[in-house]
Amino acid sequence: MSSLAELDLLLLEPAPVLALAPMQDVTDLPFWKLMTRYGGADLYYTEYFRVTPSSGLDKPILASITKNPTGRPVIAQMIGNDIPSLVRTARELQSHPIAAIDLNLGCPAPVVYRKCAGGGLLRDLPRIDSILGALRDAISGKFTVKTRLGFDDEDAIEALLPLFAKHSIDLVTVHGRTVLQMYRGGIRHDLIRMASESLACPVLANGNVSTPSEAQSVLRVTGARGLMIGRGAVRNPWIFSQIREHLAGKALTLPTGRDVLTYIHELYEAVCDLGIPDPKGVQKIKKYANFIGEGISPEFLHAVRRISTKADFFNLCREHLDHDRPMQLDPKIIWNSGTQEMRPNDAEVNSLKE
Ligand SMILES: Cc1cc2nc3c(=O)[nH]c(=O)nc-3n(C[C@H](O)[C@H](O)[C@H](O)COP(=O)(O)O)c2cc1C
């Protein structure tokens, strides 16, 4: 079956579509492979292909398409603003087994948005109009968009939606924040609902889904066809299975501390044990541990940020996770019970690289 047909079938199913969010340097091929052992998502987005006049297809990202280990449809994401280059890249990508091509309209990294790419494009609607028109003509299969609400104004989404409709976008993911909000502030579920109601195509709701009950309420409140989950899935790789259980009215299977410890060992082997010695290996696992730690405890998070060797890292993990108690891995629980001073500050949150 072609990847295109797989996406059609997925969208025909009554169950909400659960997608793993693209996260640069995080949700790569080894991470996808690991996710499938934990139940996995229904749909996977690649990290973004950077598109410029001199770009080629990034080989490790391309491998996640050509060696797709998930058995599920894959959407290839592009970021850029140069129309001939985007069209050329879209044509190249279509010779590979992808379910759709996605355009990034949300990346909030200043180095990206200042060049008017990613979230920066949201300041220039006529340019988005031209890019969407050119890509729609160049893409014979499905063409999707992942957007924030606007650059600095949440209500800007109202002017964006007609552009998505005009160019017959096949699926839109809405991260319910503006670019300038980065990862701060609540998600505007009402505006995601507006997108779901006004667009003919399916909409995926994105932002801060961390638990199965939140997933259920976001689906209800937004009316979205599905969810895209990023940090919540890195923190809790069981989340997609838990959401399916919860929506089916079954009792939740919660991991124990030791299950989480095993996950962290497997994660290290998958993404770091490629002969990467300390401190690079430990730096890489810390990227994931920053997200996982938010589901463990403020003390773990505080300590892990200061660790510089693999041995210290695993000692810390054992100290916090060598137990049989069930874990919710919900950041709201730990921040409500923990020390507020240990919460990541704005600089730490904003330094999250996209
Ligand atoms: C480290 C990191 C890397 C990201 N890389 C990408 C990316 O390549 N493409 C993209 O569209 N969004 C990217 N995002 C945004 C996520 O896909 C997602 O929209 C965001 O994290 C909010 O969802 P969440 O709360 O479920 O994590 C990235 C986010 C983070 C934290």
Segment 27-72, tens digit of pLDDT: 999 999 999 999 999 999 999 999 999 999 999 999 999 999 999 9
Distances in whole angstroms, Cα of residue 13 to Cα of each of 10, 41, 42, 206, 323:
5, 14, 11, 20, 39
Residue 307's domain comprises 257-350
In the chain, the percentage of residues whose pLDDT exceeds 70 is 93
Between the CA of 175 and the centroid of ligand 1 the distance, in Å, is 9
pLDDT value at residue 346: 44
Contact 67, 97 (CB under 8 A): no
- Lowest-pLDDT range of 142-156, 294-308, 323-337: 323-337
Q: For ligand 1, what atom is nearest to the CA of residue 206? A: 23
What is the total count of domains within the chain? 2
Q: What's the whole-number mean pLDDT along residues 302-327?
A: 96
Say how many residues make up the chain.
354
Catalytic annotation, pick one of 107, 201, 272, 317? 107
Identify the CA nearest to 134 among candidates 75, 78, 201, 84.
84
Between the CA of 206 and the centroid of ligand 1 the distance, in Å, is 9
Q: Which residues touch 6 (CB under 8 Å, ≥6 apart)? A: 72, 73, 99
Residue with CA at minimum distance from ligand 1 atom 31? 352
Between the CA of 18 and the centroid of ligand 1 the distance, in Å, is 15
What global pTM score does this model have? 0.95
pLDDT value at residue 336: 72
Residue 87 and residue 136 in one domain: yes
Residue with CA at minimum distance from ligand 1 atom 9? 22
Residue at which a domain ends, from 215, 247, 279: 247
Residue at which a domain ends, from 207, 222, 247: 247
Residue 200 and residue 102 in one domain: yes
Residue at which a domain ends, from 222, 247, 272: 247
Q: Token match 């108690």: residue?
A: 325
Q: For ligand 1, what atom is nearest to the CA of residue 210? A: 26
Residue with CA at minimum distance from ligand 1 atom 29? 23
Residue with CA at minimum distance from ligand 1 atom 6? 23
Torsion of CA 46, 259, 71, 3, to 10 degrees: -40
* Averaged pLDDT score across all residues of the chain: 93
Q: Token match 């044990």: residue?
A: 273
Residue 42 and residue 168 in one domain: yes
Mutate to test the pocket of ligand 1, among 18, 24, 183 (most ligand atoms within 8 A of CB): 24
β strands within the chain, DSSP E: 17-20, 43-45, 49-50, 74-79, 100-105, 143-148, 171-175, 203-206, 226-229
Q: Which residues pair with 171 in a beta bridge?
A: 144
Residue with CA at minimum distance from ligand 1 atom 21? 230
Ligand 1, CB within 6 Å, residue ranges: 21-24, 26, 47-48, 77, 104, 106-107, 146, 175, 206-209, 229-232, 352-354
Residue 185 and residue 75 in one domain: yes
Please report how many Cα atoms fall inside a 13 Å half-sphere around the Cα of residue 19, on the Cβ side.
33
Active site residue 272: no
In a domain, 242, yes or no: yes
Q: How far is Cα 172 from Cα 98, in angstroms, rounded to an integer?
A: 17
Q: Which residues pair with 90 in a beta bridge?
A: none
Residue 25 and residue 143 in one domain: yes
Residue 242 and residue 271 in one domain: no
Residue 125 and residue 23 in one domain: yes
Within 10 A of 34 (CB to CB), how many other CB atoms are there?
18
| pLDDT at 345 > cutoff 50 | no
pLDDT value at residue 5: 83
In a domain, 252, yes or no: no
Residue 89 and residue 187 in one domain: yes
pLDDT value at residue 281: 82
Residue 197 and residue 325 in one domain: no
| pLDDT at 11 > cutoff 90 | yes
In a domain, 55, yes or no: yes
Residue 86 and residue 185 in one domain: yes
